[in-house]
Amino acid sequence: MRWLSLVRTPPLYRTPTLVRRCQSTSAPRHIRVLQDTYPTDDYTNITPTISSKLSRRLHAQEGHPITTLRSLIESHFPDFAHLSSLSPIVTPHQNFDSLSFPADHPGRAKTDSYYINKNAMLRTHTSAHEVEVFAKGTERWLLTADVYRRDEIDASHYPVFHQMEGAKIFGTDASSIDQIEQESQRLERQLALSNIDIEDVRHISETNPAQTSHDVRSSEVIAKNLKFCLNSLMYKLFAGIAGAAKSDPLRVRWIEAYFPFTGPSYEVEVFFRGKWLEILGCGVVLQSTLDRAGVPNKMGWAFGLGLERIAMILYSIPDIRLFWSEDPRFLSQFTHGKFSTFKPYSKYPASYRDVSFWKPSSDMHDNDLYDVVRDVAGDLVEDVAIIDRFTHPKTQRHSLTVRVVYRSFDRSLVNEEVNLLQSRVVSCLQKLGVEIR
Ligand code: PHE
């Protein structure tokens, strides 16, 4: 499932994750994650590769592109609280229930999220902290954090990425609503002077309704305020680079969306190099979230955006793995507060290996395969593509052919090394019960 599609579309069914600790045959009873030790159970699927990312905190590393982008966005919301130190380990309650995710939502599946055990997981989005931040009485805030999702492997997907969540809540009496309107008008006047072309959708429609407990006009006022704030943020981020020429307007498009924790909900896309790119998800905060936070008399909006995707555009960074590089040839190119064009220091050759196998009779999810490859090859894997799938007409067994592309950013990989990596991948797959063809 592609995470960059911020909305998770429910697949028909999900199957349990295979226990896939390749190194040891029996899973350990306890694991250490950050400073704590946790008992394992049949939910445990966090891998050593993933654990090792928890302490990196790229979004707090001076000069790192993710940090510079974060600062730029923070500067757009000067009167908001700027938070960035919340632990990535949350409960499924925080990540899902506190936001009214239904019990059968696919995002909860072990195939999609990393669990330490049944009661502790790595947050899959910054929205996981909405209730606790609102509960502290913070009414305007921006939160930057690393988030974790099991996903496929290619140049724009990585199991860890960074999100920023922004939220603002308001009083709902007539004078507060009036104030929101005034702020929106001010933003609207500014935008009218900017070279931006906005394709809007109706704030509220039959397919994107206001919440039943909300006064429709108030909901509309809040949605409108959200749209103006974000349109001006998009202009700040992309003006000048998104179009082919400086004279071209920046094109921003709003579309109706669905999230379990907002209503109405939207996605924002920006036109870049001939394509619409999904930049963020947002909407009017579900009232039950605010009730849980102890602020039932407020209404508000929230948005969540992925930083890597924006940084890849602003810096021309071609591969998402580069953000994790500790190579000075990468890091020394950036200065805090500056957007420069990344100069690839070299492109070493890629080398690929194919493997065909019968899937085990107990089902195996594609994400199990991706985690095996990541655990063996780490950032030496550039892409994993399933290039053929078929079901044997008589036995009904499923076969896959998988192409793993290996490439290092720092050096040429020699054949022997690639062979070794691939043979480790193959033997880990065999431990999952696959039969090599
Ligand atoms: N948390 C959502 C995601 O990661 C984005 C979002 C945040 C949507 C806030 C609405 C409001 O997909």
Same domain membership, residue 192 and residue 283:
yes
Q: Whose CA is nearest to atom 9 of ligand 1?
A: 303
Same domain membership, residue 26 and residue 171:
yes
At 322-365, the pLDDT tens digits run: 999 999 999 999 999 999 999 998 889 999 999 999 999 777 89
Determine contact, residues 185/164, Cβ cutoff 8 Å. Answer: no
Same domain membership, residue 99 and residue 60:
yes
Higher pLDDT, 363 or 252: 252
Residues contacting ligand 1 via CB (< 6 Å): 6, 125, 127, 165, 259, 262, 281-283, 302-304
Is it true that the peptide bond before 65 is cis, omega within 30 degrees of 0? no
**What's the total number of domains in the chain?**
2
Same domain membership, residue 245 and residue 124:
yes
Task: State the CATH number of the domain containing residue 387.
Answer: 3.30.70.380
Mean pLDDT of 15-37: 69
Whether residue 245 is contained in a domain is answered as: yes
Ligand 1 centroid distance, CA of 164 (Å):
9
Determine contact, residues 435/357, Cβ cutoff 8 Å. Answer: yes
Which atom of ligand 1 is nearest the CA belonging to 163? 4
Q: Whose CA is nearest to atom 7 of ligand 1?
A: 304
- If one residue of 2, 6, 142 were mutated to test the ligand 1 pocket, choosing by the most ligand atoms within 8 A of its CB, it would be 6
Q: Answer with the one of 302, 331, 360 that is the final residue of a domain.
A: 331
Q: Whose CA is nearest to atom 3 of ligand 1?
A: 6
Same domain membership, residue 120 and residue 194:
yes
Say which DSSP state 218 is in.
Answer: H
Mean pLDDT over each residue of the chain, to the nearest integer? 92
Same domain membership, residue 276 and residue 382:
no
- If one residue of 259, 262, 279, 307 were mutated to test the ligand 1 pocket, choosing by the most ligand atoms within 8 A of its CB, it would be 259
Ligand 1 centroid distance, CA of 423 (Å):
39
Q: What's the domain range around 227?
A: 18-331
Q: What is the pTM of this model?
A: 0.90
Burial of 16 (0-12, 13-18, 19+ CB in 10 A): middle
At 402-419, the pLDDT tens digits run: 999 999 988 999 999 999
